[in-house]
Amino acid sequence: MKHTISGLVKNRAGILAQIVGVFKKFAVNIKSVAVSETDLFDTSRLTMVIEGSDKEIKAATAEVKKLRDVQEIDDLSRQEFLDREMALVKVHFRPEELSQLTQTAEVFSAQVIALGRETITFEISGEEERVDGFINALNSFGIRALARSGRVALKRGDEV
């Protein structure tokens, strides 16, 4: 089962490696990781999408909470949360396909961020299903390159 884990960690060398090591120890598969600074200069928000049994994930998360530089860690999967991810997709195109490609982008609210002689690059952000749908819609044109961020997430509502 997939779980979305979110937390705050100190900006210290090696903290991500420690967290990954704990999940490895419990045989939990990491599907995506996103880490970035917050409004506090010495604190980063970590969001991970992980897969494993509920028992393995609960045990691993409990051990992660014990790490010195982990301030807070929470399994958002059992509560309401907001999440987004971003993708850059470079597609090969022929001139007669340009209109169809831009219409597809419009349907998914994707943006054209670069246009070459033979390729067009799109940016899309949103829920995983929307990003997946856009990528699937572009497959028939010939995706040349794809870069996808990990999921970022926050609890829904006023709780921080």
Residue 41 scores a pLDDT above 90: no
Round to the nearest angstrom and report the end-to-end CA distance of the chain. Answer: 25
Q: Give the separation between CA 102 and CA 112, rounded to whole angstroms.
A: 8
Task: State the pTM of this model.
Answer: 0.82
Residue 78 scores a pLDDT above 90: no
Mean predicted lDDT score pLDDT of the chain: 93
pLDDT of residue 160: 67
- Domain range summary for the chain, segments of one domain joined by +: 2-78, 82-155
Residue 155: band (very low, low, confident or very high) from pLDDT cuts 50, 70, 90: confident
pLDDT in tens, 97-154: 999 999 999 999 999 999 999 999 999 999 999 999 999 999 999 999 999 998 999 8
CATH number of the 2-78 domain? 3.30.70.260
pLDDT above 90 covers what percent of the chain? 87
Protein fold of 82-155: Alpha-Beta Plaits (3.30.70)
Q: Give the separation between CA 151 and CA 149, rounded to whole angstroms.
A: 6
